[in-house]
Amino acid sequence: MLELTVNLDERSYPIYIGPGIYQSGVNLPEFIRTNRPVIVTNDMVAPLYLDALLEQLAPFNPLHIILPDGEQHKNLASFELVSAFLLENNCGRDTCLIALGGGVIGDLTGFVAACYQRGVPFIQIPTTLLSQVDSSVGGKTAVNHPLGKNMIGAFYQPDMVLIDTLSLSTLPAREFAAGMAEVIKYGLIYDTELFEYLEQNVSTLKALDNDALQHVIYRCCEIKALIVAEDEKEQGVRAQLNLGHTFGHAIEAEMGYGQWLHGEAVAAGMMMACQLSEKRGKLNLDEVIRVQRLLESFNLPTSFPIEVSYDAFIKHMKKDKKNKQGTIRFILPKCFGQCELVSDVTLDELQDLISPNAS
């Protein structure tokens, strides 16, 4: 089992990574500092892992709520449903919420924890690769709105993140690929050695080799922990973690949440960011091709869907959270391992980038 810490002074917390640690390896009750844990999960994850977690927490008489699976349920209706469940069961500030699931469950549960009675503790137990390497760490919690992704939320850190790599054995191949998009992102923004490791170990990772998975999950969490410790609320360097997301969020919003997985949209968005960087004289063509090949090796899309018009694309990007004073801002790679935030991308550049789909 591997362990690292997100250093945020008195709000620091541990991340544990290893195989089989839902059942053994971490004494989860030690982290339940309150009287009543409430597990929030979905109807895909519950049949796989809920019973084991309930057994481990049996001394606390835990409650649980099971939500429908899917990005389309990461909304205010689900937020209200979980909040009502807590109220109906007379849950107070001595409640600890436990998010058992992927990014949707983690983001939603964290946002409820941030708001319920002005804040209760919560624990992240991510079950998808994407949530293990990215969304479970760093305290970004939110729900979607029809007009924009993650537009309603809060920065609210968990008490612990527990990552069981064996959970990836039950993950559908498409979900695993979506998680690899975020892994590739970390190589692009921060760590060229990680990027090269991914290029050299495609088949090993796709075969779910535990040593390889632990290596990449640990490294991604380590990178994110360093960035979050420096810039918890995304006032500076943390924005780099949004590489591909301005484009990707526009795809998700226009296609309808759940039609494209988040990681798939990020993959296409990263490709577009790399192409824009190459047109601006930063990345070279060989580097862009390497990114494309690596994404495609994990069966990820490398272009945005033809159904999305240029006008719709711009409409959604104008709502991006990185924007300032109405200016769309983008994270673009300068080279492998380094990115920059740019605010001078013109509409003509964007139209040229997506001209096959321009309306």
Q: Is 352 annotated as a binding residue?
A: no
For the residues of 269-333, what is the DSSP string, one character each?
Answer: HHHHHHHHHHHTTSS-HHHHHHHHHHHHHTT---S--TTS-HHHHHHHHTT-TT-BTTB--EEEE
Is 223 labeled as ligand-binding? no
Structure tokens at 351: 């139209």
Active site residue 201: no
CATH of the domain at 336: 1.20.1090.10
Q: Is 353 exposed, middle or buried (0-12, 13-18, 19+ CB in 10 A)?
A: buried
> Is 193 part of the annotated catalytic residue set?
no
Q: Are residues 234 and 104 in the same domain?
A: no
Sequence letter at residue 243: L
Angstrom CA distances, 357 to 98, 291, 304, 351, stand at 43, 22, 9, 9
Q: What is the average pLDDT across 251-265?
A: 86
Tell me what the mean pLDDT of segment 310-329 comes to: 78
Examine the residue annotation and report whether 182 is marked as an active-site residue of this protein.
Answer: yes
From the candidates 182, 222, 252, 254, give the one annotated as an active-site residue.
Answer: 182
245 annotated among ligand-binding-site residues? yes
- β 160-164/148-155 pair status: unpaired
Using DSSP, how many helices (H) and how many strands (E) does the chain show? 13, 11
Q: Is residue 177 part of a domain?
A: no
149 is in an annotated binding site: yes
pLDDT tens-digit map of 124-157? 999 999 999 999 999 999 999 988 889 999 999 9
Q: Using the predicted structure, report yes or no on whether residue 324 has a pLDDT greater than 80.
A: no
219 is catalytic: no
| Catalytic position from the list 219, 238, 282, 316 | 238
| 264: in domain | yes
Instruction: Compute the distance between CA of residue 326 and CA of residue 177 in angstroms, rounded to an integer.
Output: 34
One domain, residues 232 and 150: no
Q: Does 215 qualify as catalytic in the annotation?
A: no
Residue written as token pair 């632990």: 214
pLDDT digits (tens, 9 = 90+) for 264-294: 999 999 999 999 999 999 999 999 999 999 9
- From the candidates 215, 219, 245, 282, give the one annotated as an active-site residue: 245
Same domain, 146 and 225: no
How confident is residue 328, by pLDDT bands cut at 50, 70 and 90?
Answer: confident
| Whether pLDDT at 263 is above 90 | yes
Residue 74 amino acid letter:
K
DSSP structural state of residue 115: H
182 assigned ligand-binding residue = yes
What pLDDT is stored for residue 317 in this prediction? Answer: 82
Check residue 256 and give its pLDDT: 78
Does 238 qualify as catalytic in the annotation?
A: yes
| Domain co-membership, 148 together with 232 | no
* Same domain, yes or no: 110 and 193: no
Q: What is the mean pLDDT of residues 229-245?
A: 91
104 is in an annotated binding site: yes
Percentage of the chain surpassing pLDDT 90?
A: 72
201 plus 347 within the same structural domain: yes
Residue 179's nearest CA partner among 230, 136, 237 is 136
Q: Which domain-ending residue is among 149, 170, 191?
A: 170
Per the annotation, does 70 bind a ligand? yes
The answer to whether residues 110 and 25 belong to one domain is: yes
CATH number at residue 47: 3.40.50.1970
Per-residue pLDDT tens for 21-50?
Answer: 766 656 677 777 667 899 999 999 999 999
Q: How far does Cα 329 stand from its chain's mean position? A: 20
18 is in an annotated binding site: no
Q: Report pLDDT for 147.
A: 83
Q: Are residues 7 and 86 in the same domain?
A: yes
Average pLDDT over residues 157-183: 95
Q: Which of 170, 203, 229 is the last residue of a domain?
A: 170
- Dihedral pair phi/psi, residue 121, rounded to 5°: -65, 155
Given a contact cutoff of 8 angstroms between Cβ atoms, the answer to whether 268 and 248 are in contact is yes
145 shares a domain with 209: no
Are 159 and 290 members of one domain?
Answer: no
Last residue of a domain, one of 170, 191, 209: 170
Q: Is 262 annotated as a binding residue?
A: yes
- Residue of 175, 222, 234, 278 marked active site: 234
234 tagged catalytic: yes
Q: Which of 88, 90, 118, 324 is catalytic?
A: 118
Percentage of the chain surpassing pLDDT 70?
Answer: 96
Q: Please tell me the predicted confidence (pLDDT) of residue 357.
A: 47
Is 74 marked as a binding-site residue?
Answer: yes
Active-site hit among 36, 140, 185, 329: 140
In total, the chain counts a number of residues equal to 359
Active-site residue, selected from the candidate residues 249, 282, 316, 329: 249
193 in a domain, yes or no? yes
- pLDDT value at 358 more than 70: no
Residues 6+ apart with CB under 8 A from 134: 103, 182, 220, 224, 241
Q: Which amino acid would we find at residue 187?
A: G
- Has residue 49 been placed in a domain? yes
Question: In the chain, where do the E strands start and end?
Answer: 2-6, 13-18, 36-42, 63-67, 95-101, 122-126, 140-145, 148-155, 160-164, 330-335, 338-342
If one compares 329 and 74, the residue with the highest pLDDT of the two is 74
The boundaries of the domain holding residue 115 are: 2-170
Catalytic entry in 42, 215, 242, 282: 242
Which amino acid is located at 168 in the chain? L
Q: Is residue 176 situated within a structural domain?
A: no
User: What is residue 333's predicted lDDT score, i.e. its pLDDT?
Assistant: 95
Do both 165 and 196 map to the same domain?
A: no
Is the pLDDT at 241 greater than 90? The verdict is yes
Structure tokens at 97: 């919420």
299 exposure class (CB count in 10 Å sphere: 0-12, 13-18, 19+): middle
Annotation marks residue 262 as catalytic: yes
- Whether residues 126 and 257 fall in one domain: no
| Domain total of the chain | 2
Tokens of 191: 């760590």
Q: Is 106 annotated as a binding residue?
A: yes
- Tens digit of each residue's pLDDT (9 = 90 or more) over 95-128: 999 999 999 999 999 999 999 999 999 999 999 9
Backbone angles phi, psi at 268, to 5 degrees: -60, -40
Judge whether 24 lies within some domain.
yes
pLDDT tens-digit readout, 330-355: 999 999 999 999 989 888 888 888 76
